[in-house]
Amino acid sequence: MVTHDQAEAMTLADRVVLMNHGRIEQVGRPFDMYEQPNGRFSSTFLGKANVFSGQALGGMVEVNGHHLPCADQAATGLVDYIVRPEKVEITREQALVRGCISARVFLGNHWLFQVDTPLGTLQITHANTGLPQAGEGDEVGLSWSGEHARVVPTGAAT
pLDDT digits (tens, 9 = 90+) for 79-138: 999 999 999 999 988 899 999 999 999 999 999 999 999 999 999 999 999 999 899 999
Q: Is residue 126 part of a domain?
A: yes
Residues belonging to the chain: 158
Q: Is residue 119 part of a domain?
A: yes
Q: What is the CATH number of the domain that holds 20?
A: 2.40.50.140
Q: Which residues of 97-112 are buried (b: 16+ CB within 10 A; e: fewer)?
A: bebebeebeeeeeebe
Closest CA to 119 of 64, 54, 50: 64
Q: Is residue 128 part of a domain?
A: yes
Residues 47 and 33: beta-carbon distance below 8 Å: no
Q: Is residue 127 part of a domain?
A: yes
Give residue 33's domain range: 6-153
Q: Is residue 120 part of a domain?
A: yes
Residue 149, pLDDT > 90, answer yes
Question: Could you tell me the pTM of the whole model?
Answer: 0.89
Q: Is residue 158 part of a domain?
A: no
- Work out how many domains the chain is built from and give that number: 1
Q: Is residue 12 part of a domain?
A: yes
Q: Alpha helices, DSSP H only, in the chain?
A: 6-12, 30-35, 40-45
Q: Is residue 1 part of a domain?
A: no
